[in-house]
Amino acid sequence: MCLAVPMKLIEITGKGTGKVDSGGVKTDVSLMMIPHARVGDYIIIHAGFGIEVLNPEEAEIRLDIFRELAAATARLEET
Amino acid sequence: MNPADESRTAKALAQEIGEICSKTSGPLRFMEVCGTHTMAVHAAGLKSLFPDNLFLVSGPGCPVCVTEKRFIDEAMLIGQQHDACMATFGDLVRVPGSFGSLATFRSEGGTVRVVYSPMDAIDIAAAVSPRPVVFLGVGFETTIPTIAATLKTALARGTENLFVLPAFKTIHPPLRILAAKEDLHGFLLPGHVSAIIGSDSYEYLVRDFRKPGAVAGFEALDILLALRDLVRMAVDKSPAIINDYKRVVRSEGNPVARAVVDEVFEVSDASWRGLGLIPGSGLALKGPYARFDAAKSFPVEVPEAKDDPRCLCAAILTGAKTPDRCGLFGKECTPEDPVGPCMVSSEGTCAAYYKYGAA
């Protein structure tokens, strides 16, 4: 029920409304709760509303952690 | 990440979890509070990676599952007696009340409109005016702001035939009850609820109960990472709240969303299936928004609901029992013909067990 998905904000269409795109599927959403969202941001959509803007730095940090773990496992696999 | 690296990462995390768990002889029991996590854990088969002494039990974080039968009964009576059109999220349509579900109501000529966004209910109200439209208000902190924003819009537009039947729930009060349980050693905290309420809001788990919590995203690796942090904190006896979903969850949450909620709602008590009445765990419409309350606008006599005494949903919702302990599970109670709400909701523990097996 609390399912939410990231989609890219491609247009601000009005006061507190925007258009998002996910793999070519475009949808209108409310930006009422994320007034700081900018075109190009990935936003987390739940029930037609943006509830948060994805933080790209934090997303990258997470990937770094995982890449490091994967690399360590790969080294073990080689020995 | 490519699939090979994902699997290597999972392997590394699972190994680390195993190493930490081997430092203790006793069982380590954590609760995933959120139904979306329940589904993700089962879908990814994560339990097959756990060491023998690590247990993950499901909690009360599936809004459909904790909604009492009485709510469905009241909705159907309002629909029948006031010729109301029901607007709802899809999850609720097949939840059985005392005399059938909304699907029954629809098959008997009632109007049920499934919406993706609560905002759609405003358009439905305009289309069927003057018939009343009743939105079934079920959900946690992720969903509640979307309802509040919808009612704010309806008030501004002067929509007069839209109502909400409120059964909203907030996660902290039941979490406090569960945190007091000796046999739970920490909590996998809900990602999208936390996006609204913030990871700082769980500090009481550490302060009052000395229990660790980790806010987790919904991909398999997110959950494994959070579990690694949980087992480490539990074994080291160093409880803290760790935010493992920082790409979405801020420590302060989303204050704009909370302000919309505070404008429309005030704290009230709420009844939970499995936990009973929990003071301060619900929300009631306040001020100019009170006129949207369907329960007050359309009073109906709701007979006392009777649950099937053999149904163990109540114990399952608090992590006390697993679905395979229920005599109805998989026999009289299946996703096609459910008896209890944990089997109806796609995020219910029983539905997850049924679909993916216990592992």
CB contact under 8 A, A48 and B5: no
Closest CA to B272 of B32, B69, B58: B69
Nearest CA-CA distance, residue A39 and chain B, Å: 17
Both structure tokens of B144: 């509640």
Nearest CA-CA distance, residue A46 and chain B, Å: 7
Around B198, how many Cα atoms within 13 Å sit in the side-chain half-sphere? Answer: 12
Q: What does the pLDDT read at residue B347?
A: 87
Q: What does the pLDDT read at residue A77?
A: 84
Which chain B positions have a beta carbon within 8 Å of A32's beta carbon?
A: 149, 256, 260
CB contact under 8 A, A47 and B146: yes
Output the CA–CA distances (angstroms, integers) from residue B142 to A30, A68, B22, B70, B128, in the order listed: 14, 32, 37, 23, 28
Collapsing DSSP to helix, strand or coil, A16 comes out as coil
Average pLDDT over chain B reads 95
- Of the pLDDT bands very low, low, confident and very high (cuts 50, 70, 90), residue A1 is confident
Which chain B positions have a beta carbon within 8 Å of A41's beta carbon?
A: none
pLDDT exceeds 60 at position B359: no
CB contact under 8 A, A66 and B89: no
Both structure tokens of A50: 């943006």
Residues paired with B215 in a beta bridge:
B189, B243
Q: What does the pLDDT read at residue B274?
A: 81
Contact B41, B324 (CB under 8 A): no
Quick: pLDDT tens for B234-260. Answer: 999 999 999 999 999 999 999 999 999
Q: What does the pLDDT read at residue A47?
A: 96
Q: Which among A47, A51, A65 has CB closest to B117? A: A47
Q: What does the pLDDT read at residue B142?
A: 97
Contact B29, B55 (CB under 8 A): yes
CB contact under 8 A, A47 and B260: no
Which chain B positions have a beta carbon within 8 Å of A74's beta carbon?
A: 8
Which residues contact residue B35 at a Cβ distance below 8 angstroms, ignoring those fewer than 6 apart? A1, A2, B58, B61, B62, B63, B65, B345, B347, B348, B349
Q: What does the pLDDT read at residue B344?
A: 86
CB contact under 8 A, B145 and A62: no
Q: Which among B89, B91, B254 has CB closest to A52? A: B254
CB contact under 8 A, B149 and A32: yes
Q: What does the pLDDT read at residue B301?
A: 96
Which chain B positions have a beta carbon within 8 Å of A55's beta carbon?
A: 246-248
Percentage with pLDDT > 70 across chain B: 99
Sheet architecture: strand order including B133-139: B112-114, B85-88, B133-139, B162-168
Quick: pLDDT tens for B278-302. Answer: 999 999 999 999 999 999 999 999 9
Quick: pLDDT tens for A24-38. Answer: 999 999 999 999 999
Which chain B positions have a beta carbon within 8 Å of A51's beta carbon?
A: 142, 145, 192, 195-196, 254, 257
Q: What does the pLDDT read at residue B306?
A: 82
Average confidence (pLDDT) over B333-355: 90
pLDDT exceeds 90 at position B161: yes
CB contact under 8 A, A34 and B347: no
Both structure tokens of B149: 């924003």
- Say if A5 is an interface residue toward chain B (CB within 8 Å): no
Mutation for testing the B interface, residue in A30, A51, A63, A76 having most B CBs under 10 Å: A51
Average confidence (pLDDT) over B17-37: 95
Q: What does the pLDDT read at residue B183?
A: 93
Q: What does the pLDDT read at residue B314?
A: 86
Q: What does the pLDDT read at residue B273?
A: 86
- Of the pLDDT bands very low, low, confident and very high (cuts 50, 70, 90), residue B305 is confident
HEC-encoded secondary structure of chain B: CCHHHHHHHHHHHHHHHHHHHCCCCCCEEEEEEEHHHHHHHHHCCHHHHCCCCEEEEEEEECHHHHCCHHHHHHHHHHHHHHCCEEEECHHHCCCCECCECHHHHHHCCCCEEECCCCCHHHHHHHHHCCCCEEEEEEECCCCHHHHHHHHHHHHHHCCCCEEEEEEEECCHHHHHHHHCCCCCCEEEECHHHHHHHCHHHHHHHHHHHCCCEEECCCCHHHHHHHHHHHHHHHHCCCCCEEECCCCCCCCCCCHHHHHHHHHHEEEEEEEECCCEEEEEEEEEECHHHHHHEHHHHCCCCCCCCCCCCCCCHHHHHCCCCCHHHCCCECCCECCCCCCCHHHHCCCCHHHHHHHHCCC
Residue of A nearest to B91 (CA): A1
Average confidence (pLDDT) over B202-217: 98
Average confidence (pLDDT) over A36-65: 97
